[in-house]
């Protein structure tokens, strides 16, 4: 295709693909690892070449500097570099990151019936900085992770439909992105009749939650970044012939970052159907090489991620039992219905009503997002229902894009001005939630990184089945390098402080 391919899409694809290449060369045996990495590189090259021509008016230098600095500040506040207070979940993420730095790959945690127990889930975020820390110095590990996180956040901000020039509009809209959230504070105040304690987390005021963008970044960047970038790649290329190839090549790579990337599949398929109208026309835009790379990696990820843990409880699937989350003895059907209606209204319902009059071409995406947000609280998968938290992320990104589009146009008439003012009030009330997250990072004592414990030691001897699985599949055993026992805390103390 003539012209320069879309550099932002190409950069996002490269960022999301880099961990897969490290995984192939570091975790697999030499021959299959090199072969699969070569296939992936070739498929990625053909995909990037098929991207559309770059936008005619890219962002100015001053706008780029602003977005990069904002990405660095947002990532640092989230705890990636341990410059400030880091939320409790970083204890587990530090242990996973350190295990990947100190140990040979794939990291193992003993054996069960002579079958190695290996680290198997949500590793994509850590692979590249872990490799860099291995090659340099463990002392650089926090800074390397901060740089890697900042790169992903910067790509997210750059791909959003934001003004191209630095000015008050760009500053305000980027702050809107950071502070985008449901109205948890007024909900907790009105529903429970109690003022939330500053600056504790606000988002679990009901047995369900849809996490703000800052909450996602501060608590689970390993899940948030691939879902954010995956959704924006779709939005940016939804009208392009490269969409089927993007779906085929990129979605399997995202599974290494988070198994919840499967939640992007319906969005990509709906976009491809809207663009091409039928499966045959969409498939004609893909190549045999792309299939030859994508299918083996997809099969590898499914087999790898589906390995059972040790003593893992069965996956719970069914309607949510609200009382099990609230501590209430029993909730009646009426109690659950009232709680559900309150949750939907404060988290996204009011925002949806205010956005609906000015949807334009995004009406279908809006309908899908709201339908999913209405359905997700009704079904539980897993004891903590992370499924609901992560599958909702693409929907929230869609709502964010619609909010940005709303402020990219002028309000007309008294009705439009009142609706715009109401939207600003709703967003302002929602901003209290990420405001609490940011305040906690700044006010509470800095959390130093703790790389002196293995994941199992950090979990007090528990083998978390969502992180550790049995390498019990013969094909995987032949493809993977011999698993290496992760050095214990006492052993790694001799390697680095």
Compute, in degrees rounded to 10, the torsion defined by CA atoms 369, 375, 380, 382. -20
Handedness of CA 276, 278, 279, 285 (dihedral sign): negative
User: Phi and psi dihedrals of 106, rounded to 5?
Assistant: -75, 140
Domain range enclosing 410: 7-485
State the Cα–Cα distance between residues 224 and 125, nearest whole angstrom.
10
Phi-psi region of 398 (alpha: psi -120 to 50; beta: other; left: phi over 0): alpha
Q: What is the pLDDT of residue 496?
A: 61
Helix axes 7-27, 124-135, angle to 10 degrees: 70
Q: How many domains does the chain have?
A: 1
Residue range 80-92, pLDDT digits in tens: 999 999 999 999 9
**Residue 494 in domain:** no
Give the Cβ contact number of residue 271 at 10 Å.
21
State the Cα–Cα distance between residues 118 and 471, nearest whole angstrom.
7
Q: What is the pLDDT of residue 410?
A: 72
Residue 281, classed as helix, strand or coil, is helix
Among 79, 125, 61, which Cα is nearest to 441's? 79
Listed in sequence order, the residues at least 6 apart from 170 whose beta carbon sits closer than 8 Å to its beta carbon are: 63, 66, 162, 163
User: 118 forms bridges with which residues in the sheet?
Assistant: 108, 469
Which parts of the chain register pLDDT below 50? 1-2, 314, 316, 323, 326-329
Cβ–Cβ under 8 Å, residues 474 and 106: no
Among 141, 48, 50, which Cα is nearest to 94's? 141
**Residue 2 in domain:** no
Among 345, 444, 426, which Cα is nearest to 179's? 426
Q: What is the pLDDT of residue 69?
A: 98
Cβ–Cβ under 8 Å, residues 375 and 216: no
**Residue 496 in domain:** no
Q: What is the pLDDT of residue 327?
A: 46
Listed in sequence order, the residues at least 6 apart from 98 whose beta carbon sits closer than 8 Å to its beta carbon are: 141, 450, 451, 452, 453, 454, 492
> DSSP letters along 4-40, please?
-B-HHHHHHHHHHHHHHHHHHHHHB-HHHHHHHHHHH
Q: What is the pLDDT of residue 326?
A: 46
State the Cα–Cα distance between residues 166 and 170, nearest whole angstrom.
6
**Residue 327 in domain:** yes
**Exposed, middle or buried: residue 51 (CB in 10 Å: 0-12, 13-18, 19+)?**
buried
**Residue 200 in domain:** yes
Residue 110, classed as helix, strand or coil, is strand
**Residue 226 in domain:** yes
**Residue 15 in domain:** yes
Whole-model pTM? Answer: 0.95
User: 381 forms bridges with which residues in the sheet?
Assistant: 317
The helix (run of H) or strand (run of E) holding residue 469 is strand 468-470
**Residue 1 in domain:** no
């Amino acid at each position: 295709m003539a012209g320069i391919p879309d550099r932002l899409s190409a950069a996002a694809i490269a960022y999301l693909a880099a961990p897969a290449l490290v995984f192939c060369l570091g975790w697999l045996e030499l021959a299959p690892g090199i072969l699969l990495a070569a296939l992936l590189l070739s498929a990625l090259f053909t995909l990037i070449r098929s991207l559309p021509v770059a936008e005619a008016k890219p962002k100015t230098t001053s706008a780029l500097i602003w977005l990069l600095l904002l990405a660095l500040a947002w990532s640092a506040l989230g705890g990636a570099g341990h410059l400030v207070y880091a939320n409790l979940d970083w204890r587990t993420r530090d242990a996973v990151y350190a295990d990947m730095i100190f140990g040979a790959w794939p990291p193992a945690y003993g054996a069960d019936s002579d079958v190695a127990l290996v680290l198997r889930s949500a590793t994509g975020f850590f692979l590249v900085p872990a490799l860099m820390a291995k090659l340099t110095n463990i002392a650089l590990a926090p800074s390397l992770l901060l740089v890697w996180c900042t790169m992903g956040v910067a790509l997210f901000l750059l791909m959003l439909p934001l003004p191209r020039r630095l000015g008050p509009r760009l500053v305000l809209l980027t702050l809107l992105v950071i502070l985008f959230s449901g109205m948890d504070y007024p909900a907790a105040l009105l529903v429970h009749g109690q003022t939330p304690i500053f600056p504790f987390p606000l988002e679990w005021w009901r047995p369900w939650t849809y996490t703000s963008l800052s909450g996602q970044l501060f608590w689970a960047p390993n899940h948030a970044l691939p879902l954010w970038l995956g959704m924006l790649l779709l939005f940016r290329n939804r009208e392009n012939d490269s969409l089927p190839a993007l779906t085929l090549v990129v979605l399997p790579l995202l599974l290494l970052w988070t198994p919840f990337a499967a939640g992007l599949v319906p969005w990509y398929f709906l976009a491809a159907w809207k663009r091409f109208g039928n499966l045959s026309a969409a498939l004609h835009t893909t190549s045999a090489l792309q299939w030859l790379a994508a299918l083996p990696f997809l099969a590898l990820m499914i087999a790898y991620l589906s390995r059972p843990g040790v003593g893992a409880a069965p996956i719970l699937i069914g309607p949510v039992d609200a009382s099990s989350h609230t501590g209430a003895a029993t909730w009646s059907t009426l109690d659950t219905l009232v709680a559900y209606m309150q949750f939907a209204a404060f988290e996204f319902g009011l925002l949806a009503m205010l956005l609906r009059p000015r949807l334009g071409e995004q009406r279908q995406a809006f309908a899908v997002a709201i339908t999913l947000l209405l359905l997700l609280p009704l079904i539980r998968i897993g004891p903590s229902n992370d499924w609901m938290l992560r599958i909702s992320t693409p929907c929230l990104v869609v709502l964010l894009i619609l909010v940005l589009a709303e402020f990219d146009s002028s309000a007309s008439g008294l009705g439009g001005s009142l609706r715009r003012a109401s939207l600003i009030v709703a967003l302002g009330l929602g901003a209290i939630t990420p405001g609490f997250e940011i305040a906690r990072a700044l006010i509470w004592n800095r959390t130093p990184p703790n790389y002196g414990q293995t994941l199992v030691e950090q979990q007090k001897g528990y083998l978390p089945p969502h992180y550790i699985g049995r390498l019990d599949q013969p094909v995987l055993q032949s493809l993977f390098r011999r698993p290496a026992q992760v050095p214990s805390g006492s052993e790694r103390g001799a390697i680095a402080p």
